[in-house]
Amino acid sequence: MTNFISFIYNSRDYLTLFLAIFLSLFLISSNDNPAVSSMRGIVLDSYRFIQKPIFTISDLMKVRKENKIIRRKNIELSVMVSNLREARIENERLRNLLSFSESKKVYEFVSSEVIGYNMGSFSNSIILDAGLEKGISKNTPVVNSDGVVGKVIDAGEKSSVVQLLDDQNFRIAVTINPGGANGILHGNRGLSDLKEVPKGLMVTVGDTVVTSGYSDIYPIGLMVGIVRSVDERPEYFFKDIKVKPFVTMAKLKEVLLLLDLNLNKGVTEK
């Protein structure tokens, strides 16, 4: 017994290391466990109290410069809205002519401030000042005026973590306009990779990439990015396409979260 105790005592450094490695591997394998998710929510909510004032101070320093840009953008958007309104009226008229029926999801927009960034070579996330109490849950789509920002991966009561579009593990089903080719966008810092697009389909530099609506998370037609390069290698079946996201992740201040009202209320609108 004494030998065992002295063995434990003498090996306490290695035992500590072994225990820490074991606990870490256990946590890695339990990432999808709801208990782990709720633990993260509690920690996020606590951290929000420290994070928010600090972020506000650093944010105030950039306000004047951004105000100018926003005013200019506001004018541009007003013109765009007027054009879109006309297009919508025309679209509705043509749909009526064709007796086109559609089922669509109804979304409610919830705005939220960004109160933290995590930028790295692989993982990119932001922390939002809104959580479960505003109806936000895992996989809630996050957008801003430029397009898709990402999706919520964890939500606390008053805060949530968003996986950004340029995160290495981010995937989104997209359509390339005007050609209509579908593919899967793989997140990456800088230019994202658009995969699974067969060589036979027409894709050119400058084409717009939008959400295809095939996933349960994102509605159809959200702006994602612009095609920057298209390559074809003889040894591959698919095109090698690089896409530049419309959203500049490092400058995010405010975002919108799309709450699926059908999902929340259990109503399907026809």
Single-letter residue type at 236 = Y
Using CB under 8 A, pick the residue from 3, 4, 13, 231 that binds other proteins.
13
Q: Using an 8 Å Cβ cutoff, are 167 and 218 in contact?
A: no
Least separation in angstroms between CB 126 and other proteins? 9
Q: Cα(137)–Cα(258) distance, rounded to whole angstroms?
A: 10
Distance of alpha carbon 61 from alpha carbon 50, whole angstroms: 19
Q: Which residue from 6, 7, 10, 16 is in contact with other proteins, where contact means CB under 8 A? A: 16
Please, what is the minimum distance in Å from the beta carbon of residue 122 to other proteins?
A: 4
Which 94-133 positions form the footprint of other proteins (CB under 8 A)? 116-125, 127
Task: By CB under 8 A, tell whether 192 contacts other proteins.
Answer: no
Which of 8, 21, 77, 205 contacts other proteins by CB under 8 A?
21
**CB 124, min distance to other proteins, A:** 7
Q: How many residues bind other proteins (CB under 8 A)?
A: 47
Q: Given the rule CB under 8 A, which of 34-42, 134-142, 173-181, 213-221 is the region that contacts other proteins?
A: 34-42
Query: CA–CA separation, 22 vs 125, rounded Å?
Result: 27
17 lies in the binding site for other proteins (CB under 8 A): yes
Query: Is residue 167 within the footprint of other proteins (CB under 8 A)?
Result: yes
Binding mask 58-87 for other proteins (x = CB under 8 A): x-----------------------------
Among 23, 70, 81, 202, binds other proteins (CB under 8 A): 23
Residue count of the chain, please give it. 270
Q: What distances in angstroms separate CA 157 from CA 39, 100, 124, 259, one per listed residue?
A: 11, 42, 22, 16
**Residue 50 CA, distance from chain mean position:** 24
Residue 57 C-beta: closest distance to other proteins, Å: 9
Report which DSSP code applies to 107.
E
Q: Which of 7, 10, 36, 89 binds other proteins (CB under 8 A)?
A: 36
**Cβ-based neighbour number of residue 42 at 10 Å:** 11
> Which residue from 6, 10, 12, 83 is in contact with other proteins, where contact means CB under 8 A?
12
Q: Which is nearer to other proteins, 147 or 150 (CB)?
A: 150
Cα→Cα distances 2→6, 7, 15, 18, 148, Å? 6, 8, 18, 22, 63
- The enclosing H or E element of 150 equals strand 147-155
Token representation of residue 169: 């593990």
Q: How far apart are CA 55 and CA 140, in angstroms?
A: 23
Report how far apart the first and last C-alpha atoms of the chain are (Å, whole number).
74
**Interacting residue ranges for other proteins, rule: CB under 8 A:** 12-13, 16-17, 20-21, 23-28, 30-31, 36, 39-40, 43-44, 47, 50-51, 54-55, 58, 116-125, 127, 153, 161, 163, 167-169, 186, 189-190, 195, 250
